[in-house]
Amino acid sequence: MKHMENQDREPLDPLFGALRGEMAKLDAPRGVEHELMQAFARQFPQQRWYQKLAGRRWGLAAALSAACVAVLLFSLPLQLPLQAPHHGVSGEGPALAARDDGGGLFIALDSLERIEQEPAPRVLETEVPRSSLAALGVPLTPDNAGDAVKAEMLVAADGQPLALRLSSIN
């Protein structure tokens, strides 16, 4: 291998020799290199490590982080199972999801304080597709996925839903 490198360099040696001779004749005045380096330093000041990163990269990193947080926040409630009726931490207060005497399921969609303070709530009867209730923990199988569940909604005067009572979720 070394022999081939020498063969490749031999035809170029006279040309490099001529170039070295011509370069030796050229001589820049004293201080030119120093002045050029100072001008370069003024035009392109040194930056800290974080300044060297492009703004687009910081923007991309921020966008990806925000997307990950949004996905986490939106998928977390979907993964929480519907628990049995429970009371507050201290064992007092009404449950947010509970079974009633008729076998139906009552789900508070807003805070219990807001429901109690509503001056004129209305009850609307409707049917809700079972597939849309899967996020609330209603059992869903391929056999009953197309079924509708009878529901009663407690609605505030401004039209905001406060609670939902599912009557036949078997």
- Residue 165 is encoded by which pair of tokens? 């009572």
Of 16-25, 86-95, 124-133, which has the strongest mean pLDDT?
A: 16-25
- pLDDT, average across residues 140-169: 82
Q: What is this structure's pTM?
A: 0.39
Let me know if 23 is exposed, middle or buried by CB neighbors in 10 A (0-12, 13-18, 19+). exposed
* DSSP per-residue string spanning the chain: -HHHHHHHHTTTHHHHHHHHHHHHH--PPTTHHHHHHHHHHHHS----HHHHS-HHHHHHHHHHHHHHHHHHHHHHHHHSPPPPP---TTS-S--SEEE-TTS-EEEESS-HHHHHH-SS-EEEEEEEEGGGGGGGT----TTTTT-EEEEEEEE-TTS-EEEEEES---
Bridge partners (DSSP) listed for residue 163: 108, 154
pLDDT tens per residue, range 36-85: 999 999 998 888 877 776 677 778 888 888 998 888 877 766 554 444 44
pLDDT at residue 17 is higher than 60: yes
Residue 40: predicted pLDDT:
92
The answer to whether 157 touches 119, Cβ cutoff 8 Å, is yes
Q: Which is more confident, 162 or 133?
A: 162
- The model's confidence at residue 118, banded by pLDDT at 50, 70 and 90, is confident
